[in-house]
Copies of this chain bind each other. A is one copy, B any other.
Amino acid sequence: MYNSFGHIFRITTFGESHGVGIGVVIDGIPSGVRIDQDDIQAALHRRRPGQSDITTPRKESDRVEVISGLYHGITTGAPLTFLIRNQDAKPDDYQQMETVFRPSHADFTYLHKYGIKDHRGSGRASARETAARVAAGAVAKQMLTSKSQIEVLAWVQAIGGIEMPPMEGISLHLIDNNEVRCPHAETALQMRQLIIEMQESGDSVGGIIACHTQGLPIGLGQPVYAKLNAMLASAMFSLPAVKGFELGSGFAGTRMKGSMHNDAFYKDAHGAIHTRTNHSGGIQGGISNGEPITFQVGFKPVSTIAQSQSTVDTHGTEVSLAAKGRHDPCVLPRAVPIVEAMTWIVLADAWLMHRNSNWASIHPSE
């Protein structure tokens, strides 16, 4: 089933939405990384269900139990394992799903693939799996920030047709200032309004998350199949509901001329080489060039809606379905920390991969 991600910093997630719990084994993390469990809980808190009136009412404390890998709060080089037990599972809500294919869900494909279907909350297809990624991302972040100035910041750029205007000075404070996680306060209000409308009408809505990474060293990423952008694209498309990924200028860049799109190099006042524009999105030839990495991720509207829909059951009989399970009218606010987590995981992996690039700079004493 390929539940592992990463080459060297490698996570393996496990668990189901309505089973015992979900968890992650982080293998390949070096020894000597100090882990602050409160930071991990804080990250999970941002993803947690029930965090506001515009998210699912499911209540999960998402408390992380450390199963292995730490000694006095420091990684030992052994696999770091976290378990997050499910508390508010309500498998009964999914009784109907045992025989009905929910539109745009994985019920149909799972049953065909596996001949069996854990209908309770979608099993592995549930977005609950992403809690394990958020915990792992917090670890990646703690590792990298102990040796670098890297910052990763994601936010809600658009909900449905509502998009925030270009804006300077985006900060975590501005992002977390509202339940939508859009740093532009006025737009956030409109977005919130739209989400509530959807909630009330038993519908759902999608949107776009933007992510911005800075402080990255030059050189992360591998030239061909493990390009940093390919790793990011793969990471984002491994998330439920993602329909699009753009790096730097993205699809808009496809309409530009080369003479406009090319990022001219120049030497700054400190003698460092930078680019005047950043249409490349911080990655050239698959490798970070020291400029901010910028990308956008498009999420479709949530498939689970309360409105009655036409579908078929496992016998092929057409039936009508109105979802009973608790769900979000819009996943974007809760997806912000997930996008950040996957970015940190990719960066941690790329960082460790990069260390063997240039033999001339390798000191045998290490």
Contact = CB atoms under 8 A, between A and B. Distances in A.
Contacts of A2: 7, 27-28, 222, 224-226, 353
A102 B151 CA distance: 28
A356 B359 contact: no
Contact of A358 (B30, B68, B109, B221): B30
Q: In which size bucket is the chain A interface? A: 35 or more
A264 B353 CA distance: 37
A169 interface: no
Contacts of A267: 312, 316-318
A50 interface: no
Contact of A77 (B1, B253, B275): B1
A232 B234 CA distance: 8
A356 B264 contact: no
A361 B219 CA distance: 20
A233 B218 contact: no
Nearest to A234: B234
B302 A258 contact: yes
B236 A75 contact: no
Interface string A272-301: 010100011100111111000000001111
Given A7-B2, A110-B285, A318 B217 contact: no
A144 to B, nearest CB: 9
A248 B243 contact: yes
B222 A230 contact: no
B254 A108 contact: no
Given A4-B27, A79-B14, A301-B261, A366 B362 contact: yes
A81 B12 CA distance: 11
Contact of A258 (B33, B77, B265, B301): B301
A257 B298 contact: no
B225 A285 contact: no
Interface string A82-117: 010000000000000000010111101110111111
A40 to B, nearest CB: 16
A23 interface: yes
A78 B245 contact: no
A359 B33 contact: yes
A192 interface: no
A32 interface: yes
Given A204-B257, A248-B243, A303-B262, A30 B356 contact: yes
Interface stretch (A41-49, A52-60, A122-130, A178-186): A122-130
A13 B286 CA distance: 16
Contact of A355 (B12, B33, B298, B355): B355
A108 B305 contact: no
A66 B20 contact: yes
A238 B287 CA distance: 11
A163 B62 CA distance: 47
